[in-house]
Amino acid sequence: MSLYVIGDTHLSLASDKPMDVFGGGWTGYVDKLREGFQIVSPEDTVVVCGDISWGMSLEEAREDFAFLDALPGRHKLLLKGNHDYWWTTASKMKTFFEENGFSTLDILHNNCHFYGDTALCGTRGWFYEEDRGEHSTKIFNRELIRLEASLKAAGEREKLCFLHYPPLYQGYRCQEIIDLLEGYKVKLCCYGHLHGGSHRLAVTGRQGTVDYRLVAADYVGFRPVCIL
């Protein structure tokens, strides 16, 4: 049994949203994802760090969920990304997954999941420095609350954290999120969101007391990364 992570699958099987704006590496990316997931065993867990589907509603994203559900892996834990417009309440999403028989899909949102003695925590995060308006401040503060709730739910277990937005990259640090990660003794933080030329801005490796890793699909070759 292994734990994998990947971000930004950007599926659009029902809407055919082009991804070439992010570079030529996205050509044929659905087939690349299908092939990349072959390293995952049926009993493994995969965390998907947001930007999962371009669907504007759960119904529009149905084919994308079906694709993910059919990929290898016993559990796929989904985080919200900035393009996941289909995202709604936890109860509606869980009901939709159950009604459609998507038995491997679950969400990581205002909660944490346990992988043996390790806690899997996370939330979307936010690029607060880009817009300090009132609306952005409210969203940012809400994300801090969600992240801390997830970390608290882990108790004294070893903690891994998954975000969509990077908490730091070249020229940017979200100190409030970093303080939470370090204060709750998070061992590893995986994030997505950065594509194409933005890969060069990514911060990876140990910063302070936390190891950071970019896991956007195009950065990791559309192959989930084994972290445990």
- pLDDT value, residue 132: 62
User: How many whole angstroms separate alpha carbon 21 and alpha carbon 16?
Assistant: 14
Flag the least confident range among 11-15, 30-34, 36-40, 158-162.
11-15
User: How many whole angstroms separate alpha carbon 225 and alpha carbon 7?
Assistant: 10
Query: Which pLDDT band, with edges at 50, 70 and 90, does 20 fall under?
Result: confident
User: How many whole angstroms separate alpha carbon 122 and alpha carbon 161?
Assistant: 5
User: How many whole angstroms separate alpha carbon 28 and alpha carbon 25?
Assistant: 8
Tell me the average pLDDT across 112-119: 97
CATH class of the region 3-226: alpha beta
Helix, strand, coil % in the chain, rounded to nearest 5: 30, 25, 45
Of all residues in the chain, what percent carry a pLDDT higher than 90?
86
Q: Which DSSP string corresponds to 94-127?
A: HHHHHHTT-TTEEE-SSSEEEETTEEEEEE----
- pLDDT value, residue 129: 54
User: How many whole angstroms separate alpha carbon 78 and alpha carbon 85?
Assistant: 14
Residue 128 predicted with pLDDT over 70: no
> What is the residue-averaged pLDDT of the chain?
94
Residue bearing tokens 């100190």: 175
